[in-house]
């Protein structure tokens, strides 16, 4: 016999680690590619001299900051995509028992 006390959803929710990984891993990959393409044409020291000449930023720190900025942007994009693709039935109403 089936227990109908809890509403039946269209599919069970994903574990938190899987949801976080689905956002962070593709954005990590995209940030790596964007960093390589961007810094193939832009030298971090030249960029520093044009933007913040008084700060002592090394080339390696420039690469690191650039990567994390790209990762922040691409993870925001992945997060918004995940939010928009969530199934509506899970959040609006439960499925009727069969």
pTM: 0.74
CA 2 to CA 34: how far, in whole Å? 51
Which residue(s) pair with 8 in the sheet? 95
Give the model's confidence band at 82: pLDDT under 50 very low, under 70 low, under 90 confident, else very high. Answer: confident
Summarised one tens digit per residue, pLDDT across range 28-59 is 999 999 999 999 999 999 999 999 899 999 99
Taking the alpha carbons of 34, 40, 42, 44 in that order, is the dihedral positive or negative? positive
CA contacts within 13 A on the Cβ side of 12: 4
Tokens encoding 57:
């930023």
């Amino acid at each position: 016999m089936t227990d109908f006390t809890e509403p039946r959803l269209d599919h069970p929710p994903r574990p938190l680690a899987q949801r976080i990984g689905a956002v962070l891993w593709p954005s990590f990959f995209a940030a790596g590619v964007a960093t390589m393409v961007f810094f193939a044409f832009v030298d971090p020291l030249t960029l520093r001299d044009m933007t913040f000449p008084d700060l002592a930023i090394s080339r390696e720190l420039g690469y690191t900051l650039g990567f994390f900025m790209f990762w922040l942007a691409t993870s925001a994009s992945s997060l918004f995509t995940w939010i928009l693709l969530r199934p509506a039935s899970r959040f609006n109403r439960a499925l009727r028992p069969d």
